[in-house]
Amino acid sequence: MITAQDLIEKVQSYNPQSDADLIARAYAFGAAAHKGQTRKSGEPYFTHPVAVAMLLTEVKLDDASIVTALLHDTIEDTKATYQQVAEQFSPEIAQLVDGVTKLTNLELSSVETEQAENFRKLLMAMSKDLRVLLVKLADRLHNMRTLRAMPKEKQRKKARETIEIYAPLAGRMGMQYIRDELEDLCFAVLNPEARNSIMRRFINLSKENDQLIPHIIEDIQVALEGVGVKARVTGREKRPYSIWRKMEEKKEPFNRLSDIYAFRIITDNVQDTYIALGAVHQRWAAVPERFKDYISQPKSNGYRSIHTTVSGRNAKRVEIQIRTKEMHQVAESGVAAHWSYRDGVRVENPFAVDPFRWLRSLTERFEASDNPDDFLEHVKLEMFQDQVFCFTPKGEVIKLPRGASPIDFAYAIHTRIGDSCVGAKVNGQRVPLWTKLRNGQSVEIIRAEGQRPQASWEDMVVTGRAKSAIRRYLRDEHREAHIRLGREIARVALGRVGKKPTDKALETAAKLFNLNSGDALLAEIGAAEISGGDLVKTLYPELVKSGNSTGPASDEDRVIGLAPNQSATPAPCCSPVPGERIVGIAMPGRGVLIHAIDCPILEQFEGNDRRWVDLRWTPASSQACNETKIEVAMANDAGVLGRICTLIGEHHANIVNIEFTNRKPDFYRIRLDIMVRDIEHLTNVETALNADSDVAEVVRFRDTSLCEFGPKK
């Protein structure tokens, strides 16, 4: 195990002014607090905090961060208190330890909404002091390195969480070495077969291209000496996960990838980076469209480097990155460079960015988000690494993720410009709004004051800012219609169990659904995000379980042909209604299921006559409401859904539930559960819907998979 002295010597190697006594006391405090505790692997638990502290020395962090790493689990997992840490060390360290504890307590759940809400809190917590995040990332890296002692399912859950949240966050914070290792560790857990396959190919490639990397390094050094540039040159094979991601993105096999090898040229100054670039391009042919100058156009996290791909020795394509020593420090350490020490003094790196700038803009932009799932999606989109740089007509640079469209560009300038966008010109030529922008293009947005965001735009944009603005506008535009529709669905659903949608009931249900008001709940129901059945189950679960419903008539009133003590219910696969020819199928333990005579599932019961029951509707059956399902294909235009619901209501049929089964830029397909008297009533509703010019198709919904029990012979 790493001793206190080992850790102190490591810290003092880059910070001779370090407080050795402080680190020693923290080491002793943590060791005593965790005494007797073990990890899943059987090792003493304190080996973990010490390993986390050693990871932070690699980026030369300050004493407070190192001590926080040693103590980061004491408040959570031992009898130590916040007050004790503050008194024995300092209020600053106590606050940092408490911050890490809060992040740990917000470990992201597999339930998506909880994950989203917790991640929002995570961002808010770490925005107070970003060193909390640095400790947490080191904590997660060591946990992933030692994951094998955990159960397989726990490993997969941690790996999914890490690759979706922590690895991109490390990358967005500029800590690329942590991102790379986290992704590769997750890859080994989530897709071991793919990783092993790539590793085998690497081994074969190494045999075929023995000494290729040293030879190319030597070639580069000779080229640099020829132009008088002193630089450090390194080379490596890319990590398996990086290779696999490129294979997935480009849909190409391993042997077709062009940049499996990567080389770095680290120069003394910026001028030498461009001289080195010229020497490389003179020595080898540059690959078209594979050049990026992140020195003149840095990434948002401060990353600066020149990237070029050339056809090197033996025609092997290799990627070469060229940057200065200071740029390399930022590229490797990211925001940690802000706290780094050298020779006992905080390093003033001219290329390090304000570590709070991105985090502050992110939290401000989405802190008012209504939907936690939207928030999480937007955060993930904001953490895209690959960017394109486009220009406004005035020459201002706009940074966007790869795959961005002119609509993304418009919203990046201002929400008002995005909302009123009607077209775009790229390099002076009119282009469709779904065009993917490329580096260096000049983009001009064409506006019209009467224009408003369209639902189809959501499929054309990739930035969180654009998606958020479009969804917010569409949600506000349709909110009133959704509330009216939701109120009607709630009235019908609650009416079936003898209840009413009072304001008090709706407010209670809203709290149970984590919504802020009864109107917000009705809007969700009207938008088919929450069903009427979900509302009833949430408010009155005991009525659902007991079957206390005031809906359709009893079995004896509905059908003729049942044996004494036999019960019957409509089959969910075909949802028959009075007026249709019907037959019953006896289901052990479930009574009799009533099927329409043309239901496809009946074929499964041919040759099993004992299960068939001859049934017919009673005259009383059409006096009550009967539930059935229809599917409607309609144009994706404003007001169409509201018009459909109005038509159904005008024909005195009630909508119980709406589900969107397919959303496309030009049309929606929705499934409606409606209450009708009989087949004639249903036909009248279908005819009215078919007559609407924005309705493409109306069909009865049939799905045999909804019947759980197949025939038993």
**Active site residue ranges:** 76-77
Which of 437, 398, 403, 394 minimizes the C-alpha distance to 414?
398
Q: Please give the helix or strand (H or E) that residue 634 lies within, else none.
A: strand 626-635
- How far apart are the C-alpha atoms of 602 and 711, rounded to whole Å? 9
Q: 527 with 471: CB under 8 angstroms?
A: no
Single-letter amino acid, residue 220: I
- Taking the C-alpha atoms of residue 603 and residue 80, their distance in angstroms, rounded to an integer, is 69
Contact 293, 387 (CB under 8 A): no
Contact residues for 534 (Cβ-Cβ < 8 A; gap 6+): none
Contact 247, 279 (CB under 8 A): no
Tokens standing for residue 291: 């050049």
- Residue of 431, 496, 427 lying closest to 460 (CA atoms): 431
DSSP, collapsed to helix, strand or coil, labels residue 452 as coil
233 CB contacts (<8 Å, ≥6 apart)? 217, 220, 221, 224, 263, 264, 265, 266
Strand order through the sheet with 443-447: 429-431, 421-426, 443-447
Contact partners, residue 708, CB within 8 Å, separation at least 6: none
Q: Rounded to whole angstroms, how far apart are CA atoms 174 and 180?
A: 11
Distance CA 497, CA 499 (A): 6
Q: Tell me phi and psi for residue 652, to 5 degrees.
A: 60, 35
> Chain centroid to CA 256: how far?
30
Structure tokens at 688: 């009215």
Element (H, E) at 430: strand 429-431
To which H or E segment does residue 4 belong? helix 4-12
**Gap between the Cα atoms of 648 and 434, Å rounded:** 36
Residue 215, CA distances (Å) to 121, 323, 357 in order = 50, 21, 42
In angstroms, rounded to a whole number, what is the distance separating the alpha carbons of residues 318 and 311? 7
Rounded Cα distance, 302 and 134, in Å: 17
Q: Minimal CA–CA distance to 41: which of 158, 142, 129?
A: 142
Contact 672, 645 (CB under 8 A): no
- Beta-carbon contacts of 585 under 8 Å, excluding residues fewer than 6 positions away, are 571, 592, 593, 595, 602, 605, 611, 612, 613
Structure tokens at 316: 């092997």
> 261-267 and 231-237 as β-strands: parallel, antiparallel, unpaired?
antiparallel
